[in-house]
């Protein structure tokens, strides 16, 4: 219950930050930006929230981009985060649910197996900017790439330990209780850059993506929200064309 409260607090804080960002946009000085650098880079705190499997991960996100024009960037995005998740029988494939029911009987309904997760994401593509405000840049992007996850089972109790052992015998888990998978993801992202001079700023951003990791173990895909905040560095020549 304490962890659940902590996760809700983090999501609530992220929502407040985005709301504050929108408010700041409304009071920002209007006027086209007259200085836009060719390159940018970002690194900051990030969290991933996957409620379907009760997974909340803390980590970092990094981005680099090049701007062919003032309104579009092409770049690469990477994030890594860690956290804990909980698996229950309803999350498993119908085949595994039937096997657990035959093996455990009514006890299968109360089964819960914890695991530690390390997740990495790799993405690339365009990002579209709106520079109507002098000190604030709004942006949106498609969010497509590859997600890789390493999960390590952390069973508690004889029942959960026995189930993990059975999964290892079926080859669904490595002998160490680990399972690794990677798969494409798709979704969209958006955010705000608060500019402090020509070469520095604060970026607040979020993505909502869908994937289906471990499809031989889990029956459904999941939606994941990623939120990040941190410093933005702009460098290179000014690409705004003088009129």
Q: What is the pLDDT of residue 43?
A: 98
Q: What is the pLDDT of residue 115?
A: 93
Could you tell me which CATH class the domain 2-236 is placed in?
mainly beta
CA distance 188 to 217: 26
Of 58, 79, 81, the C-alpha closest to 3 is 58
Q: Where are the alpha helices (DSSP H) in the chain?
A: 2-27, 94-104, 158-169
Of 10, 86, 75, the C-alpha closest to 42 is 75
Q: What is the pTM of this model?
A: 0.85
CA distance 151 to 101: 24
Q: What is the pLDDT of residue 13?
A: 52
CA distance 169 to 172: 8
Q: What is the pLDDT of residue 28?
A: 47
CA distance 225 to 208: 5
In the chain, domain spans: 2-236
Spacing of C-alpha 8 from chain mean position: 16
Full pLDDT tens readout for the chain, 243 residues: 444 544 554 555 555 555 555 555 544 445 689 999 999 999 999 999 999 999 999 999 999 999 999 999 999 999 999 999 998 989 999 988 888 888 778 877 788 889 999 999 999 999 999 999 999 999 999 999 999 999 998 888 888 888 888 888 888 887 888 999 999 999 999 999 999 999 999 999 999 999 999 999 999 999 999 999 999 999 999 999 754
Q: What is the pLDDT of residue 105?
A: 81
The values of phi and psi at residue 5, to 5°, are: -65, -40
Q: What is the pLDDT of residue 31?
A: 64
């Amino acid at each position: 219950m304490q962890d659940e409260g902590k996760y809700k607090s983090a999501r609530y804080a992220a929502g407040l930050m985005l709301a504050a960002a929108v408010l700041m946009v409304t009071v920002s000085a209007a006027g086209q930006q007259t200085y836009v650098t060719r390159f940018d880079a970002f690194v900051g705190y990030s969290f991933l929230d996957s409620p379907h499997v009760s997974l909340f991960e803390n980590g970092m996100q990094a981005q680099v981009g090049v701007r062919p024009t003032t309104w579009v960037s092409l770049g690469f995005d990477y994030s890594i985060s860690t956290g804990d998740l909980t698996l229950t029988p309803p999350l498993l494939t119908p085949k595994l649910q039937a096997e657990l029911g035959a093996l455990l009987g009514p006890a299968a309904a109360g089964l819960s197996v914890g695991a530690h997760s390390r997740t990495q994401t790799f993405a690339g593509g365009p990002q579209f900017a709106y520079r109507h405000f002098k000190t604030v840049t709004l942006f949106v992007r498609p969010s497509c790439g590859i997600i890789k996850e390493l999960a390590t089972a952390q069973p508690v109790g004889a029942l959960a330990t026995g189930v993990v052992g059975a999964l290892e015998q079926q080859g669904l888990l490595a002998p160490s209780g680990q399972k690794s998978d990677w798969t494409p993801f798709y979704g969209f992202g958006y955010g705000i850059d608060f500019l402090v001079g020509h070469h520095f700023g604060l970026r607040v951003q979020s993505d909502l993506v869908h994937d289906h990791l471990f499809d031989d173990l889990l029956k459904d895909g999941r939606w994941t929200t990623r939120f990040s905040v941190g410093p933005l560095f702009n460098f290179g020549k000014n690409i705004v064309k003088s009129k």
